Structures are given as C-alpha cells and as structure tokens.
Homo-oligomer: A and B are copies of this chain.
C-alpha cells in the first residue's frame, strides 16, 4: 500500500466520504504535501475495499452509477496506525527549482534575478494563503484531536514557505552584490 492509500485512510479515519468528496480534497492537497487526481483515487479505493480496510454503502445517485460512501474499518485503522510507526526514511528530494538553480551560472544577472524573484513571489503568495488559514484555525488543539494534526501539517507548510523565501533572499542578496 502506497502513501496515497494511507492519505485516503487518514481522511476516512476522520469521517466517511464518497470518492468524489475525497478527490475534491486531494486535488487541492491533503496535509499541504500530497495531491492526487480522481483517476487515481477510485482504483485506490477499490483496492482498499478489497483489502478490507474500508467498506462502502451505495446510494441511488445522479448519473449512470451509484454514489458510494466509504467508511474506514477497524482493520483499516490498525493498518494506518501500523504504517504511522514504521521506521521513517527521509525522502522528499525532488525539487525542480533547485535543479534549475544548479545551472544558474549559465544566465546573466538580470535573468537570474528575475527567475528567483518570480519564484519568491509564488512562495510569498502561498505563505499568505496559509497565514489566513491559520488565523481561521487558531491555536492547536489537544494532540489526540484530528484538529491538532491538521494544524501541525499547516505549520509544516508555513515553515516550509518561510524557509523558501529566506533562501530566495539569500540568493538575491548575492546575485545583486557588486556587478
């Protein structure tokens, strides 16, 4: 079972949802650090159901097919807990922009500055979004509460955007130093 499967279990552990509802959440990211399309989600749900980690009840829905609401089973909860405590690895290499910066010496100063400024602006915008979400969520709840976990992932996003912005500033400072 992949990260996607566990992201879905993590959502269903909070409340039952349909595949459509799950995909609406996941297209715009769960936990600010994972996304998926509906075309990936429907097969993943079928696999989870076959494995007995979720169950579904079908209602008469619009369109040619039934609407299915998925619920996590006790086995699903156990599998999710087991996945959580597996030994961690670091992962999360893969950042296209850093690969670009690796070849930044090929550009002249103006182009380089422009590139980094553009990138900084994207992260600044994202940070602003996250800050407004934070002001809605308020201070973190008790660690046993799903709200706490939600708030913690937001904090990861906030911290990440800030790191990105200050790295861009580090770069810009040096790119703009004496011609």
Contact = CB atoms under 8 A, between A and B. Distances in A.
A136 to B, nearest CB: 18
Interface residues of A, number: 72
A50 interface: no
A93 to B, nearest CB: 5
A94 B171 contact: no
Given A102-B153, A156-B167, A160-B163, A34 B95 contact: yes
Interface stretch (A40-48, A55-63, A109-117): A109-117
B149 A99 contact: no
**Main secondary structure on chain A at its contact with chain B?**
helix
Contacts of A10: 99, 102-103
A91 interface: yes
Interface in A162-179: 162-163, 166-167, 170-171, 174-175
Interface of A: 3, 6-7, 9-10, 13, 29-35, 77, 80-81, 83-85, 87-107, 109, 111-112, 114-115, 118-119, 122-123, 126, 140, 143-146, 148-150, 152-153, 155-156, 159-160, 162-163, 166-167, 170-171, 174-175
